[in-house]
């Protein structure tokens, strides 16, 4: 008996490898399966560029491809942010130094000494809310100014450039950087195939890659990192004159980072290290302070820079346009509730006040749409501005009504304008309201990347060649580490092919570390130029000796010299740092004078990676006990490996020996505490920061 062949069921209409025939049947076509289309099935001719009015003109609202792509991306996660999910925040104020009326009519910048309330949020980018603080990642640096003319949100990062030139590529970038979708790992890391596959096919990203592979991506503290507005903005004065501007934040304590092994161990010792540091600093009565610096320049000056200021993968060296410090940001109050404030705060790049305006930067133009769209979904609807942390602190009124989560009770019969029934209702204010700068734009509607955006390597070379030797070594090591995690050989080779266009020595060292041979340089639209090095791009070249805001770990054994410990604590406090006591028992440690010293950390919970420098003080009996404790040996060996200043009483030679440190290993940053006068020597060595001369011995690199 023959069987009737069962008809297969139609494929889902969400499958891109199918089409609908004349009779309504669904069938697959090999040609269509390779064509990128919108969710409405419309073929996409250009997935690299937004639709603009002319090559360098503004992005057009009619770009339905951009809007669909960004909208879908914005709504991919509920309830946490897709990016910048893990954040920390604080309240404070911004104080302007001198009136800036010559360049802007922004009201909060008109009177010297005026203080504007702010809320600042710092974050990682790639990890989820539950990830750790010390991932190698970009850090968000967003500040909401509650001005008398409304909220101004300066939404930036701790790196002055970005991976991509056009917002239409942002979903692709983040999809590539996030955990791979079939396995949901690695978390909060870019050391995997999809990220580097995207990067290796996107040459414009390599300037940003130099920054992300540098120590900027593993800051010591949120209090010790720089911030940048990234884009070129406009300032507009009362006469309607425009000045281009770049925004910079500079930490009062100076920029400082950790080394990679230190970051790894910090992640294990305290996944909340940055979050805890910010909270405890403010909770302890200290403030966190940054200065706001402006780079201002005219359109004529911009045309002479040799790069396009609308390209967000480019920066303006400070040696070309110096920073003018115009005010300070002081954070002095922790949030009262993490969810209500830190989690619900909604930053929008489009939130500007009269006197601050946008440029045609195509990445910024996409952000102007994306942020508002994201908040509508993440915070439940159009009334998210009524959440207290988002609400303006100045009076405001409009005719918008109703909607999900409406908390206000608007009165009256009029909810439209113009009207004659409510003469006292809100009206437009031509003399005081926001008015866009009337820049002249001309050109056809184009999906095109301007030729002025084509130099992808010159500033990447500038950044690498402006670093000190230790900083260059760390970029090399980071690239080797990240690419060693990449499983696909062709991806590793493509990355190296781009590095060859940046710096031959850089590429050779990375190739050697990966065991690659015979890789040729990638085709370059424009060959990298040798630019004048910029010392301002190096953290170490700008670093000044200081212990202010730092933490010194004191590992104390029972019976330790009370006078020496008192001298250490006094000197540490005098240098503006804090001393934390580590010992065998959390209940306290007995000193030579019979008193018990309170302890902050039990030794296995207070590793030396938590501190900027360390000292070990013990009696002869206490020294013998410490030498027998594995965590004490790790305390010393890790401090040495992380290039920190170390002080110790002379009776601790056995501890150092068991930690693998011979007398010949003890360098100028290792201080013997034989007498109280040695304390000053230790403080001086600790104030100098990491002892980079030690690094080749502990971490030899290709």
698: helix, coil or strand? helix
**What is the Cα Rg of the chain in Å?**
28
Spatial separation of the C-alpha atoms in residues 98 and 101, rounded to whole Å: 9
Spatial separation of the C-alpha atoms in residues 528 and 203, rounded to whole Å: 12
Spatial separation of the C-alpha atoms in residues 309 and 110, rounded to whole Å: 27
Is 84 designated active site?
yes
By C-alpha distance, which of 232, 258, 274, 230 is closest to 88? 274
* CA 667 centroid distance within chain: 34
Spatial separation of the C-alpha atoms in residues 313 and 400, rounded to whole Å: 38
Is 334 designated active site?
no
In this structure, what token pair is assigned to residue 72? 């879908």
Taking the CA atoms of 382, 386, 389 and 391 in sequence, report the sign of the dihedral they define. Answer: positive
Give, as one character, the DSSP assignment of residue 342: I
Q: Cβ distance 589 to 560 under 8 Å?
A: yes
Spatial separation of the C-alpha atoms in residues 605 and 452, rounded to whole Å: 53
Give, as one character, the DSSP assignment of residue 605: G
**H/E stretch holding 636:** helix 630-641
In terms of DSSP bridges, do strands 578-583 and 551-556 run parallel, antiparallel, or are they unpaired? Answer: parallel
Spatial separation of the C-alpha atoms in residues 523 and 529, rounded to whole Å: 15
Spatial separation of the C-alpha atoms in residues 265 and 235, rounded to whole Å: 44
Spatial separation of the C-alpha atoms in residues 614 and 146, rounded to whole Å: 42
Q: Which of 49, 84, 456, 642 is catalytic?
A: 84
Q: Which of 157, 351, 360, 651 is catalytic?
A: 157
Spatial separation of the C-alpha atoms in residues 324 and 315, rounded to whole Å: 16
**H/E stretch holding 124:** strand 115-124
Indicate which residues carry an active-site annotation: 84, 157
């Amino acid at each position: 008996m023959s069987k009737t062949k069962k008809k297969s069921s139609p494929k889902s209409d969400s499958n891109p490898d199918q089409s609908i025939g004349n009779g309504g049947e669904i069938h697959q076509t090999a040609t269509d399966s390779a064509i990128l289309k919108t969710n409405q099935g419309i073929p996409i001719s250009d997935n690299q560029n937004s639709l603009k009015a002319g090559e360098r003109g503004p992005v057009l609202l009619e770009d339905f491809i951009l809007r669909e792509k960004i909208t879908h991306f914005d709504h991919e996660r509920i309830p946490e942010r897709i990016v910048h999910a893990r954040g920390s925040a604080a309240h404070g104020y911004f104080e302007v130094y001198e009136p800036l009326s010559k360049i802007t009519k922004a009201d909060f910048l008109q009177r010297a000494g005026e203080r504007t309330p702010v809320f600042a949020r710092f974050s990682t980018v790639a990890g989820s809310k539950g990830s750790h603080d010390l991932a190698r990642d970009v850090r968000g640096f967003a500040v909401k100014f509650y001005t008398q003319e409304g909220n101004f949100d300066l939404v930036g990062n701790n790196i002055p450039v970005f991976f991509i030139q056009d917002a239409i590529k942002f979903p692709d970038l983040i999809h590539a950087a996030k955990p791979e979708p079939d396995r949901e790992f690695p978390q909060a890391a870019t050391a995997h195939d999809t990220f580097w596959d995207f990067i290796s096919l996107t040459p414009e990203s390599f300037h940003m890659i130099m920054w992300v592979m540098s120590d900027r991506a593993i800051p010591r503290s949120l209090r010790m990192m720089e911030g940048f507005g990234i884009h070129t903005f406009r300032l507009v004065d009362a006469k309607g004159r425009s000045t281009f501007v770049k925004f910079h934040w500079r930490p009062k304590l100076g920029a400082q980072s950790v080394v990679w092994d230190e970051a790894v161990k910090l992640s294990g010792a305290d996944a909340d290290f940055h979050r805890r540091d910010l909270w405890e600093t403010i909770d302890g009565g200290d403030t966190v302070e940054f200065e706001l610096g402006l780079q201002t320049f005219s359109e004529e000056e911009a045309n002479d820079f040799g790069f396009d200021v609308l390209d967000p993968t480019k920066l303006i060296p400070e040696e070309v346009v110096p920073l003018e410090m115009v005010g300070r940001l002081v954070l002095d109050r922790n949030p009262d509730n993490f969810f209500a404030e830190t989690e619900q705060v909604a930053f929008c790049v489009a939130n500007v006040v009269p006197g601050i305006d946008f440029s045609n930067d195509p990445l910024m133009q996409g952000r102007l749409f994306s942020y508002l769209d994201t908040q509508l979904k993440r915070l439940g609807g159009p009334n998210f501005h009524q959440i207290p942390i988002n609400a303006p602190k100045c009076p405001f009124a409009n005719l918008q009504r109703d909607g999900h989560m409406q908390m206000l009770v608007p009165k009256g019969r009029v909810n439209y304008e113009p009207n004659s029934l409510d003469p006292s209702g809100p009206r437009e204010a031509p003399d005081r309201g926001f008015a866009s700068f009337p820049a002249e734009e001309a050109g056809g509607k184009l999906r095109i990347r301007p030729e002025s955006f084509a130099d992808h390597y010159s500033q990447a070379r500038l950044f690498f060649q402006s670093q000190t030797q230790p900083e260059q070594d760390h970029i090399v090591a980071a690239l080797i580490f990240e690419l060693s995690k990449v499983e696909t050989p062709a991806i590793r080779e493509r990355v190296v092919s781009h590095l060859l266009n940046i710096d031959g020595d850089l590429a050779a060292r990375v190739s050697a570390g990966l065991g690659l041979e015979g890789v040729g340089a990638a085709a370059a639209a424009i060959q990298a130029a040798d630019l004048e090095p910029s010392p301002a791009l190096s953290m170490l070249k700008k670093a000044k000796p200081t212990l202010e805001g730092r933490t010194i770990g004191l590992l104390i054994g029972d019976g330790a010299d009370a006078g020496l410990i008192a001298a250490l604590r006094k000197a540490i406090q005098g240098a503006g740092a804090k001393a934390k006591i580590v010992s065998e028992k959390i209940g306290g440690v007995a000193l030579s004078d019979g008193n018990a010293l309170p302890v902050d950390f039990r030794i296995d919970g207070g590793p030396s990676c938590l501190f900027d420098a360390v000292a070990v003080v013990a009696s002869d009996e206490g020294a013998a006990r410490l030498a027998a404790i594995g965590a004490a040996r790790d305390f010393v060996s890790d401090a040495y490996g992380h290039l920190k200043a170390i002080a110790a009483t002379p009776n601790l030679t056995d501890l150092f020996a068991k930690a693998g440190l011979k007398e010949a290993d003890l360098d100028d940053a290792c201080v013997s505490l034989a007498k109280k006068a040695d304390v000053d020597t230790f403080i001086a060595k600790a104030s100098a920061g990491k002892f980079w001369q030690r690094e080749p011995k502990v971490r030899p690199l290709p």
